[in-house]
Structure 1
Amino acid sequence: MKQSLLAALSIAMAAAVAAMACSTQGQVDPDVMQIATTPLTCSNKAECDLWWQRAQTWVTNNSKYKVESATDTLIQTAGPDGGKRALAYQITRTANPDGTATIGFAAHCDGSLGCTPNPWEAGADFKQYVRGTAAGAQKPAVKPPQPAPTAMHPDALQGQSVTPTTGEAVSQ
């Protein structure tokens, strides 16, 4: 009887700790949110082509799923697989009448405990990389090649593993 009471208390304490963790993990840094929600619009064909190439590189390097489609207007991965927290991506390129184009980002998972990485963090990282403002983004060569800084390590390109409270899809 004493053991079953201890087991019940242990389960209740574990549930309380998990609930507290979930309540703080659903928050997204306002700076990350601003980057993730700012439209990604390139200004001319050359820039749009470069950004689209970067978009495909980012998805290839950051997705746990295989890229299933890569055309001039769509980059899409497989997934999400049932119950998995890994993000599946769908990137679109829509031409605007003024010669610009808008690159759309959508990420979703099927995990009941949320996604890894956080979709907002992934969206912000994606947009910074595509714009060429993130560590490791390919920028036009203007200076002679220099040794790569330590921030260029592949792990530096990964999104944070902050878990939101839901497994809902995020489109930006």
Structure 2
Amino acid sequence: MNLMKTTGLATAAAAFTLLAGCSTNGQVAGETMEQATSPLTCTNKAECDAWWARAQVWVTNHSEYKLQTVTDSIIQTTGPSGGKRALAYQITKTPSNEGTATIGFAAHCDNMLGCEPNPWKAGADFKQFVRGGPSQMGTRAGATASGNALPPVSPTPSSRPIPPALPVQPMPPTLESQPGQSGQNQTPE
């Protein structure tokens, strides 16, 4: 290898190291990491239903991407795309045989410099909000999150029977494939 190639490779490696360093400058506090990684497990059907509704509210209020799929076991946005720093979300609900469920949180972006907001902070905020606390992050519209807080969820079971939930159908990946939704003439010419 000649000196020009070696120098070029060393310069490229140094530039990459500098760029990679930019994504880690915002160190995440241990408390935030602990909140983000702690299990989110509801203890009964009423609590699980309320938490799942709150999960959808949080994702709707905090995602720059549109909801792609919403069922009783997954909430997923479109994205990430085009080198954006915005987070795309995938929330899952996994029921157990004991009547509890664990709600999982995943967030990622498509930018080598890092995501905005930080996925660890988003995960901690998501879990706090789902458990009944206020969101500490601003919404995608820039409004304060306290206006989005739902009342706290009580884990005590209700003595009244709970009506069955209506089935939720997944959203189509694009509306263009749905008749009458694309604005184009759908009749043969």
TM-score (normalizing by structure 1):
0.67
Equivalents in 1 of 2:35, 2:23: separation in Å? 23
Residue by residue, what CA displacement relative to the aligned partner does 1:110-165 show, whole Å, maximum 9, x if unpaired? 101110100000000100000012253312599xxxxxxxxxxxxxxxxxxxxxxx
Aligned counterpart, 2:79:
79
Aligned counterpart, 2:50:
50
Equivalents in 1 of 2:25, 2:48: separation in Å? 35
The answer to whether structure 1 residue 139 and structure 2 residue 145 are counterparts is: no
Amino acid paired to 1:83: G
The answer to whether structure 1 residue 22 and structure 2 residue 33 are counterparts is: no
Rate the CA distance shift 1:141–1:49 in 2: closer, same or farther, 3 A.
closer
Rate the CA distance shift 1:141–1:43 in 2: closer, same or farther, 3 A.
closer
Tell me the matched-pair count: 126
Aligned counterpart, 1:95:
95
Equivalents in 2 of 1:45, 1:141: separation in Å? 12
CA RMSD of aligned residues (A): 2.3
Give 1 or 2 for the bigger CA radius of gyration.
2
Equivalents in 1 of 2:58, 2:153: separation in Å? 19
Rate the CA distance shift 1:98–1:119 in 2: closer, same or farther, 3 A.
same
Unaligned runs of 5+ in 2: 1-14, 136-145, 155-189
The answer to whether structure 1 residue 117 and structure 2 residue 129 are counterparts is: no
Is 2:44–2:99's contact at 8 Å kept on the other side of the alignment?
yes
Q: Which has the higher helix share?
A: 1
Indicate the percent of aligned positions where both proteins have the same amino acid.
Answer: 65
Q: Which has the higher contact order (CA 8 A, sep 6+)?
A: 1
Give the 3-state SS of the residue equivalent to 1:61 in structure 2: helix
Unaligned runs of 5+ in 1: 1-14, 143-172
Give the 3-state SS of the residue equivalent to 2:49 in structure 1: helix
